[in-house]
Amino acid sequence: MSEALLCVENLRVAYPSSRLEVAPRWAVDDVSFTLDAGERLGLVGESGCGKSTLGRAAMRLLPASSQIEGRVRFAGQSVFDLTPPQLRKFRGEAVALVFQDPMTRLDPLMTIGEHCIETLRAHRHQLSHRQCKERALETLDAVKIPANRWSQYPHEFSGGMRQRVAIALALLLDPKLIVADEPTTSLDVTVSAQILQELTRLCRERQMALLLISHDLAMVGEYCDRIAVMYNGQMVEMGSVEKILQSPEHDYTRSLLEAALHIQAISEEEKQGDGENSQSKLQTPNSKIDSPLLRVKNLKQYYTLERNFIAQFLSKESPVIKAVDNVNFDLYPGEILGLVGESGCGKSTLSRTILQLIRPTDGTVEFLGKNLVQLDRHSLRTLRRQIQMVFQDPHACLNPLMTVGQSIADPLFIHKLADSSEAKHQVTEMLERVGLTPVEEYYHRYPADLSGGQQQRVAIARALITHPSLLICDEPVSMLDASVQTQVLELMLELKQEFNLTYLFITHDLWVARFFCDRIAVMNRGQIVELEPTHKLFTTPQHPYTQTLLQAAPLLARC
């Protein structure tokens, strides 16, 4: 019997620590598994359980001072014994890693084409520049990046499109194994399906193995052969997709499955009943009685592309990108309005335009009866205490030089809402509410000491600390596993009732939107193509694009 492509035996990993500890704190604790050529293994677990550490250990990407025990063999050769030249060849040609955050892979000073050429030239010396470009364009096309974006920079791409570029770079050298660490976290369901279908097709055709690290059980169940469940650094259960999803043995696996099914449970209620009770805890306000808290009218956000001298000579008109194109909607007090659509459709641009972080090309944004477009900077700053935002990337609002406690308390000081003693008391309460306990430990940590999911919970706590009337949430739970997603969403529902909050909830996860939202607006190419109550949108979608989104969404029941 031939040896497995990847063999991990009794692996233990402890990160370097400045604390004087007698025993190491194992981020990965005695993990063993094998992965065969062409096989697809899904690695699931809560944020901070050691999934990403395991993937990086397989590629020797851990800090040099990390404590490592056990063995990792690839195609019969010890990974830990590779020399620097062998390791350079190993990374990329044998194993490729797709990071959760694409900007850790992309250089902001290089075009997309330059990224591709550099990668191919570093490993394929015999290829000419023309051959490199042909190969690169073919791979970019496979992940739906058109050739006319070859000369653009990463900042000109949406988060989802940057991730597609990162996946293309991983595929360029035809590796034998791809370690994909949350590769579709920032992608909508249609693009996620396209990417994962492409990855799984390549696995079949090229006998390429895939280690898919994710918190999305439904996605892993749809695209993987086996599932491994990690908890607290240990692999607590492993088996076929059918076995894990139909008869899980470990308590943690059962809790993950129950949490994921809880989010998707509304679908069964809608099928069996009339849907009247499926949103009983989220009562849509009576528009005939309530005045809108937020009213968006004819909102436009256009960007004019710069042209070179030749383009200016040939054409008088500059090309225009209509990121937000004549958008209209009302948001009522106490309502949760979901905004869904593919990556790059304009969702995040719309949210930033509403906040006046970027001024609109045209249209009005009325909040509490005031047109934000006409307000000066001082008036906007005063009003923003009532409008807070949770960004998709927690790094957008967390200062790496500030502790968690300082970051959460900062808005209180900015708006002069509390002194130091009261701020610490409020921060302590908020840390408990978002599940970051023991509070004493997390209060003094820095963002770099937290996992991605923990950072996002800090960002949510920071947004809620001023008790705003309107919270704009841009993918607030996209980085969290199913059990933590449920906890955070239910927490946000509790806070909504307690503080009379209103949410504009941006997400690419349709099941989360259905679980959480009263109404859902579907965006496509800068426009809202459909806006209906949640039950009606999911049971009788009218627009073809909405129908495509619903068909692409992974469902545990299909697994």
pLDDT along the chain (559 residues), means of 10: 84 76 80 93 85 88 88 92 90 86 84 94 89 93 87 84 86 90 75 78 84 86 92 93 91 84 58 42 49 94 70 62 92 94 84 91 93 90 88 78 94 90 93 87 88 81 90 82 76 84 90 90 93 93 91 63
Give me 540's structure tokens: 């009788």
Say if pTM beats, i.e. exceeds, 0.75: no
Query: How many Å apart are CA 184 and CA 172, to the nearest integer?
Result: 18
Query: How many Å apart are CA 150 and CA 93, to the nearest integer?
Result: 23
96 shares a domain with 239: yes
Give Dmax over CA atoms of the chain in angstroms: 73
535 shares a domain with 390: yes
Helix, strand, coil share (%) of the chain residues, nearest 5: 45, 20, 35
Q: Quick one: CA dihedral 69, 74, 76, 78, positive or negative?
A: negative
Q: Strands across the sheet with 502-506, in order?
A: 387-390, 470-474, 502-506, 336-341, 519-524, 527-533
CATH number where 392 lies = 3.40.50.300
Element (H, E) at 48: none
Closest by Cα among 358, 450, 346, 376 to 407: 450
- The reported pLDDT for the residue numbered 306 is 63
Query: How many Å apart are CA 292 and CA 329, to the nearest integer?
Result: 10
- Total domain count for the chain? 2
- The reported pLDDT for the residue numbered 56 is 87
Q: Is residue 78 part of a domain?
A: yes
Q: Are 303 and 320 in contact (CB under 8 A)?
A: yes
Query: How many Å apart are CA 201 and CA 210, to the nearest integer?
Result: 11
- Among 249, 271, 306, the domain-final residue is 249
Distance, CA of 549 to chain centre? 17
Q: Is residue 404 part of a domain?
A: yes
Question: Which residue range(s) make up the domain with 40?
Answer: 6-249
Closest by Cα among 438, 422, 487 to 460: 487
Q: What's the start-to-end Cα distance of the chain, in Å?
A: 30
Q: Is residue 265 part of a domain?
A: no
- Among 188, 220, 249, the domain-final residue is 249
Q: Is residue 54 part of a domain?
A: yes
Closest by Cα among 475, 460, 546, 481 to 507: 475
Instruction: Give the contacts of 192 (CB within 8 A, at least 6 positions apart).
Output: 184, 219, 508, 552, 554
339 shares a domain with 207: no
Q: Phi and psi at residue 262, in whole multiples of 5°?
A: -65, -40
Closest by Cα among 502, 530, 534 to 291: 502
One-letter amino acid of 382: T
Query: How many Å apart are CA 84 and CA 237, to the nearest integer?
Result: 35
Q: Is residue 543 part of a domain?
A: yes
Query: How many Å apart are CA 184 and CA 188, to the nearest integer?
Result: 8
Query: How many Å apart are CA 29 and CA 54, to the nearest integer?
Result: 10
Instruction: Give the contacts of 248 (CB within 8 A, at least 6 positions apart).
Output: 229, 237, 254, 257
> What is the CB neighbour count within 10 angstroms for residue 60?
16
Closest by Cα among 455, 504, 445 to 480: 455
Instruction: Give the contacts of 298 (CB within 8 A, at least 6 positions apart).
Output: 326, 327, 328, 362, 363, 364
- The reported pLDDT for the residue numbered 309 is 53
208 shares a domain with 343: no
- The reported pLDDT for the residue numbered 472 is 94
Q: Are 409 and 423 in contact (CB under 8 A)?
A: yes
483 shares a domain with 356: yes
Q: Is residue 518 part of a domain?
A: yes
Q: Are 112 and 147 in contact (CB under 8 A)?
A: no
Evaluate the omega torsion of the peptide bond into residue 476 and state whether it is cis, within 30 degrees of 0.
Answer: no
Q: Is residue 388 part of a domain?
A: yes
Query: How many Å apart are CA 44 and CA 223, to the nearest integer?
Result: 13
Q: Is residue 421 part of a domain?
A: yes
